[in-house]
Amino acid sequence: MQPALASVWEITQATNRNACLNLVVLACWSAIYSHLSIYRIKDIIVVSGYQSEIIEDEISHSVANEITRTVINPDYEKGSLISLLTGIEALHTDKDFILMDADVLYEQKIIGRLINTKINNCFLLDRNFIHGDEPVKLCVQDGQLVDFRKQIDKDLQFNVQGESVGFFRFSGKTAKKLVAQTRSYIAEGQEDAPYEEIIRDLLLENPENFGFEDITGMKWIEIDFPEDIKRAQLEILPYIQ
């Protein structure tokens, strides 16, 4: 059974992202729809915030218009956590779904790993990454995920570490838990927390319910800064055109 799909697409009002906006909208959306159509995904939700009209216009003129719903997070400046809640609530499904950061360019095989995986709640892990404060890291001990965060405790025991691609497959049961945990964060005044913290909470609570696919060697890039555009054009676009 093919999963439904929610795509968290949030572009914040940072100066460096303004320069990337057109490429993110045009290239990422085109690639996402092209790849998903191969796997016959029939329900796409795009969550937008800053300059959402640009995203809506691009989608409305695309062949994906009939199967895509756009929902707006008016509180996008508070962070991605509210976008997560907005997207999942709009999905209204008890089936598996795929959650995607939409500022990522990637080759088709990557999304194929999520769609074809046997893992109910699945992360994507890339062992080839530049260590530092920015990457969201996945830590694995003897095949089991033990953490998911930018800042990893120096005393944590693990024998594999990689970067999260920002694409996930979750079950309908997990979707309900994500919604409940997100609402709890908001009620406690933590709406500015990154949405990864919500996912991390569920992972640490029941690590046996989660797994990962290793996509090391596959091509992808997250577009955060102007210099990422050149890398995307040279290293990624040839693999998705």
Is position 33 within any domain? yes
Is position 235 within any domain? yes
Q: What is the pLDDT of residue 4?
A: 56
Is position 58 within any domain? yes
Answer yes or no: is pLDDT of 105 > 90.
no
Q: For residue range 12-22, what is the model confidence (pLDDT) as tens digits?
A: 444 334 444 44
Q: For residue range 2-39, what is the model confidence (pLDDT) as tens digits?
A: 565 544 444 444 433 444 444 455 556 666 777 777 77
Is position 139 within any domain? no
Show the domain range for 76: 4-123+166-204+218-240
Is position 47 within any domain? yes
Residue 94 near residue 4, CB atoms below 8 Å: no
Q: For residue range 215-227, what is the model confidence (pLDDT) as tens digits?
A: 999 999 887 777 8
Is position 147 within any domain? no
Look up the CATH number of the domain holding residue 87.
Answer: 3.90.550.10
pTM above 0.75, yes or no: yes
For residue 42, name the pLDDT band (cuts at 50, 70, 90): confident
The angle subtended at Cα 123 by Cα 120 and Cα 127, nearest 5°, is 145
For residues 66 and 68, what is the distance between their CA atoms, to the nearest angstrom?
6
Is position 45 within any domain? yes
Is position 152 within any domain? no
Q: What average pLDDT does this structure show over 50-71? A: 80
Answer yes or no: is pLDDT of 55 > 90.
no
Ramachandran quadrant class, 21 (left: phi over 0; alpha: psi -120 to 50; beta: rest): alpha
Contacts of 145-149 spanning 24+ positions with Cβ under 8 A: 145/203, 145/207, 145/210, 145/211, 145/212, 146/207, 147/200, 147/203, 147/204, 148/123, 148/196, 148/199, 148/200, 148/203, 149/196, 149/197, 149/200
Count: domains in the chain: 1
Q: For residue range 107-148, what is the model confidence (pLDDT) as tens digits?
A: 889 999 999 999 989 999 999 998 988 899 999 999 999 999
